[in-house]
Amino acid sequence: MGTRMTDAGMYAHLWGTDELAAVFAEEARLQTWLDILAGLARAQASLNIIPATAADAITAWARVELLDLDYVAEQTRLTSHSTLGLIRGLQRILPAHAREYVYVGATVQDLTDTWFGIVMRETGAVVWRDAWTIEGMLLDLAARYRDTPMAGRTHGQPGAPIIFGFKAASWADEMRRHLERLRAGRDRWLVGQLAGAVGVLGFFGPQGLELRARFCREVGLGDPGISWLTSRDRLAEFAHVLAMLCATLARIGGEIYELQRPEIGELREPARAGAVSSITMPHKRNPEASEHLDTLARLVRSHAALLLEGMVQQHERDGRAWKAEWVALPEVCLFTGAALGMARQVLADLEVDEQAMAGNLTRYGDRLASERVLAALSDRLGKHRAQALLQEVLSDSDSDLAVELSRRGVATVEEVHAWAARPAVDAATAMVDQVLRRVGAARKAETDTWR
C-alpha cells in the first residue's frame, strides 16, 4: 500500500481522476515504458541495428502483466540504476534471441523523457477537452445571465453594479487564453527523446538522427531536432500553463466560496445527494469543491515552480533537477485533472440566486449607485468637487444620499433616485456580447479534441 494520501483509497478522487490514473498508475506507466522500448526496437530493426525478429519478440513480450515486478524492483535497488531492473526483468521473459536487443544504446532519460512527451500528450488532451467544455459552460452562464445585475465588489466591499454574465464572461475570456496557449504549445511539447549517453547518439554513429526520427514516429511524438536532456523549458512551460489554468479555476472557486456565504447568498455550488458537510453541525452546506479548487491550484503552482527551477541544469545530464521532475510533472498533471473534473461538476449545476443578487444591490439604499450619482453630479459640480462632496455625505454610514444632496441644494431627491435607479451596466452587456461573439467564433473552428 502506498504512503501518499493522494493515492489512498478514501481520497484518491480528490487528487486525481480515474482517467488520468489510467495514464499514471504504476502498471500503466510501466506498460507505456515497455511500449516505448518496443517502439525503439522496431525503429532499430527498420535500420538493421537489431534483427527484425528481435523487434518482433520485444513487441510481443513487452507486457507489464508478464513482468515479475518484485524482481524488477529488487534489481533496481541492487543496481542503483533507474531502468536496469526493468531491462533485466524484461530480458527474463524475452526469448533468448531477443534478450540482447532490448534498450540498445538508449539511456534512462530517453525512456523517461519520451514518456514525459506521452504524458503531456495524454494529459494535454484531457486538459483541452475539459477546459474547452468548461469554457462552453462559462459562455452559457454569460449568455444566460447577460441581464442579471448584481453588486460588483472591490476590496471585499459591495460597489457599483455589474451583471453576473459579465463575471462569467471574464472567466470565459481567461479560459480562452489558456486554450490559445495550449494550442500554441502543443508542437513544442509533444516531442520524443533519443539522445543516448550524452545527447549525441554516439552509440549509433551516423544513423543516429534517422533512428530518432523513426523512433519518434513509432511513439507518436514529434522529433525534437536536437536533444533536450538538459533543455527543459518544455516542461516548465507546460506546467505553467496548467498552473495558470488551475489558478483560473481557483478564482472561480473562490468567487463561489465567497458568494455562497449565506450573508451574501448569491451563488451556491451544487449539493450532491448523500453529501454531508459536517458531522458536528448538521445544518452546514459547505462549498467544499469550490475551496478544493484553491487547494489544487496551490499544489500545481508549487510543482510548476519546481519545473521552472529545474531548467537550470548542468552539462549533458543533471540528476538534481531531473529527478525532481519525476515527482513534479505527474503531480501537475494529476492535480490539474482533478481540478478540471471538479470544476466541471461545480459549474454544471451552479446555483445562481438572481433574487439575492437583486436584493443585495438595493440593500444599502442608493449607496451602491454612488458612481452614477458621481457621474451625474460631475456635470454640475465638476468631477472632483462632486467626489469630495459625496465622500463627505457618504462617510456617515447612516445618511440618506438623496436627502442629503437635496439638503445641500445640488440635486433633488427625485433626481438622485432617478440616477440611482438603473444599474449602469451598458458596457458590461456589450462586453459579454463581445466575448460571446469572439470566443464563439473561435470555438466554431474547434472541437473538444486537442489539435
Active site residues: 155, 278
Residue 316 or 448 with smaller CB distance to a copy of itself: 316
Nearer to a copy of itself, 220 or 365 (CB): 365
Query: What is the rounded distance in angstroms from the CA atom of residue 290 to the CA atom of residue 73?
Result: 40
- Chain centre distance of CA 440: 21
CA torsion sign for 155, 156, 157, 163 is positive
The single-letter DSSP state of residue 222 is B
Nearer to a copy of itself, 25 or 413 (CB): 25
Shortest spacing between CB 241 and a copy of itself, in angstroms: 8
Q: In terms of CB distance, is 46 or 207 closer to a copy of itself?
A: 207
Residue among 110, 119, 120, 100 nearest 39 (CA): 110
How far is it, in rounded angstroms, from Cα 290 to Cα 269? 7
Which of left, alpha, beta for 50 (phi over 0: left; psi -120 to 50: alpha)? beta
Report how far residue 277's alpha carbon sits from residue 286's, in angstroms, rounded to the nearest whole number.
6
Which residues does 300 contact at the CB level (< 8 Å), separation at least 6? 239, 242, 243, 246, 331, 332, 335, 336, 339
From the CB of 6, what's the least distance to a copy of itself, in Å?
A: 6
Distance in angstroms (rounded) separating the CA atoms of residues 89 and 116: 22
Least CB distance to a copy of itself at residue 368 (A): 7
Which H or E run includes 149? strand 149-154
User: What whole-number distance in Å separates Cα of residue 171 and Cα of residue 106?
Assistant: 45
| Distance of closest approach, residue 304 Cβ to a copy of itself, in angstroms | 8
Grid cell digits, residue 48: 538493421
Rounded (10°) CA dihedral 93, 97, 99, 103: -120
How far does CA 413 lie from the centroid of its chain? 51
Nearer to a copy of itself among residue 52 and residue 312 (C-beta): 312
Smallest distance from a copy of itself to CB 299, Å: 6
- Nearer to a copy of itself by Cβ, of 39 and 165: the residue is 165
Nearest to residue 313, comparing CAs of 385, 234, 369? 234
Cα separation, 450 vs 126, whole angstroms: 8
Q: Which is nearer to a copy of itself, 244 or 413 (CB)?
A: 244
CA distance 269 to 325: 35
Provide the minimum distance between the beta carbon of 344 and a copy of itself in the complex, in angstroms, as a whole number. 16
Smallest distance, a copy of itself to C-beta of residue 335, A: 9
- State how far the Cα of 72 lies from the Cα of 315, in Å rounded to an integer: 30
The H or E element containing residue 415 is helix 413-421
Task: Retrieve residue 449's grid coordinates.
Answer: 479534441
Query: Least distance to a copy of itself from the beta carbon of 412, Å?
Result: 19
